[in-house]
Amino acid sequence: MEYVLLLAVAVLILVFKDRPVMMLKFEQGELKQTKGNVPSGFLHGCKDIAHREPFTGQIKVYKNRFTTKLVFSKDVPAKVKQKIHNVFPFSSNNKKSGRRQA
């Protein structure tokens, strides 16, 4: 019985663990920490945006089978979020969205 309980706890930990593909952490407009394989163009674009409009916050990128998703911390202003979305190299469009083909 204990083994089943331990197995259930292990599965829950693996399922609910925060596992971003890449992460960028900024403090007052300077890049302090990166994790994962960050494309160089995206990294330079984010550094440029942070230099022009200094902010403190965290950007995480999650990827599943269908989409790549950017998640920002609460500290990142809306204008900066939009600029970073514009620099992000992976489009969030999937095959199902867009015009319908007859």
Q: What is the pLDDT of residue 57?
A: 95
pLDDT at 20: 87
Quick check: 42 and 23 in contact, CB under 8 A? Answer: no
Strand partners, 69: 62
> How far lies 20's CA from each of 38, 71, 80, 91, in Å?
12, 9, 20, 17
Contact 36, 42 (CB under 8 A): no
**Collapsed DSSP state (helix, strand, coil) of residue 87:** helix
CA distance 95 to 14: 30
Ramachandran angles phi, psi of 82, nearest 5°: -65, -40
10-residue block means of pLDDT along the chain (102 residues)? 86 79 94 92 94 94 88 94 91 56 56
Q: What pLDDT score does 102 carry?
A: 53
| CA distance linking residue 28 with residue 51, whole number of Å | 9
pLDDT of residue 37: 92
pLDDT at position 92: 54
